[in-house]
Amino acid sequence: MNTMVQAAPTRVTFDQFIAWYPEHSEHRYELHDGEIIEMPKPTGKHSEVAGFINGSLFVEILRLKLPYFIPKECVVKCGESGYEPDVIVLNSQAIAADSRWEKESTITPGRSAILVVEVVSTNWRDDYAMKLEEYEVFGIPEYWICEHYLGLGGRRYIGSPKQPTFSVYQLNEAGEYQVQQFRSQQPIESLVFPELQLSLEQILVATSSQLIAVDWVNDRKPEFLSPRSTVQKRDRG
């Protein structure tokens, strides 16, 4: 999630936060243990990476006719905290039992969310520590952290030397996250999307998720997935 600045010094409850949340605001907000936090707009690189992951998952949902959807906005209630992930995949059937979804775009039971994705920015500690613990307690089956260009995360999380890393946290039978990490051309392994063909390198060189989505929907393998294809990298500035 992108770096953030504090919006209000007063501690509030989650319900107060939802009631306070301004409509049609240019900014996004999160609630971190009772503290309202203003989220600045993400950088272009951040948005492109999040958008590509979103598009890749959306196409996989369509291809396999899975009972999932990816909302434009969603607040995940974890105690007195509320997070807006970069990407979240919800279960279409389970969400009907969540009383807050229809009016507030808020989920409370862990079974509604099957996957959360955060794209790392300067405030990487929240993604690797605070949110990791909260999502684990919340019972979200998979949590992905995409460390794309800058290698911002601490060495304890992505190793040394720092390099782009895609971390996949999966709940085990004890309800605890276990992590697998993928780099470069290594295929990302997911229990939620076991047939997904995606690597960190593909995310980094992708230029248009819309064009790739058209290929996948038409049962054509995107050109950049071919080992003999060449891809021109776009300046992501």
* Between residues 46 and 170, the one the model is more confident about: 170
Q: What is the pLDDT of residue 83?
A: 94
Mean pLDDT, all residues of the chain: 81
- Is 125 within a domain? yes
Question: Does any domain span residue 226?
Answer: no
Instruction: Give tens-digit pLDDT for 137-194.
Output: 999 999 999 987 656 655 655 566 668 889 999 999 999 999 999 988 999 999 999 9
Q: What is the pLDDT of residue 33?
A: 93
Which pLDDT does position 157 carry in this prediction?
58
Question: What's the total number of domains in the chain?
Answer: 1
Q: Name the token pair of 24.
A: 């049609």
What is the pTM (predicted TM-score) of this model?
Answer: 0.80
Most confident range, picked from 20-24, 91-95, 124-128, 215-219: 91-95
Residue 231 in any domain: the answer is: no
| pLDDT score, position 135 | 94
Q: Is residue 155 part of a domain?
A: yes
Residue 36 lies in a domain: yes
Residue 74 has pLDDT above 90, yes or no: yes
Q: Which pLDDT score, from 0 to 100, does residue 210 have?
A: 41
Per-residue pLDDT at 213: 37
| Residue 47: CATH number of its domain | 3.90.1570.10
pLDDT > 70? residue 214 = no
Q: How confident is the model at residue 228 (pLDDT cuts 50, 70, 90)?
A: very low
Rounded mean pLDDT of 90-103? 93
> Is 30 part of any domain?
yes
The answer to whether residue 196 sits within a structural domain is yes
Task: Identify the pLDDT of residue 110.
Answer: 74
- Determine, yes or no, domain membership for 210: yes
pLDDT of amino acid 227: 36
Give the residue numbers spanning the domain of 118: 5-221
What pLDDT is attached to residue 231? 33
Class of residue 231 by CB neighbours under 10 A (exposed 0-12, middle 13-18, buried 19+): middle
